[in-house]
Amino acid sequence: MFEETYIADQTDNGPEDRRSNIGLLIFILVLFSALMVAYGLYNSSQYETNLADKLEAQFHGVLAEQDLQRIYSESDQQFKKKYTQDSAVAMFANISTRYGTPGSSRVISKRMRRSTDGSYLYANFDTTFTTDQKAIERITWHETDGVFRLDDYDIEPETK
């Protein structure tokens, strides 16, 4: 009687198999890293948009209340170097006279820059005022000690 013996293929492709497994592992890690970076950028962008909306709503609230001295007193030192209290109050009063009270706004662009002297949030808004006039507002806030303060402001009528 024949006794058959089956011998399993015990050849070891060794390095080739390990290289393909390492390549697959590297691919998975790179893909995972790319997804994490994309997720981080998305969250950062959402944070910047939400922050810009919040700061702009606060600013517009004070502007609507005509508490123009408060805008100046709570602004950043850079803003105070650029404007005296009288010139800032006159500028905001002129905006209120010309455009009315800010109505709806939407962020059209924003960018956060971090530096050694705090963070800066640059945001542009498409704003419709109560007089149905539209303007582009360019607002910069400077964050120091966890507080964002008005750093710069510019408004330009939207052309039709």
Give this prediction's pTM. 0.71
Mean pLDDT, range 133-143, rounded to an integer? 96
Strands 134-144 and 118-129, bridge-based pairing: antiparallel
User: What ranges do the domains of the chain cover?
Assistant: 31-157
CA dihedral 124, 129, 135, 139 (to 10 degrees): -30
pLDDT at residue 22, as a whole number: 78
pLDDT at residue 156, as a whole number: 95
Closest CA relative to residue 72, chosen from 82, 95, 64, 133: 82
pLDDT at residue 143, as a whole number: 95
What is the tens place of the pLDDT at every residue in 27-84? 677 766 666 665 555 556 788 999 999 999 999 999 999 999 999 999 999 999 999 9
pLDDT at residue 45, as a whole number: 79
CATH number for the domain running over 31-157: 3.10.450.50
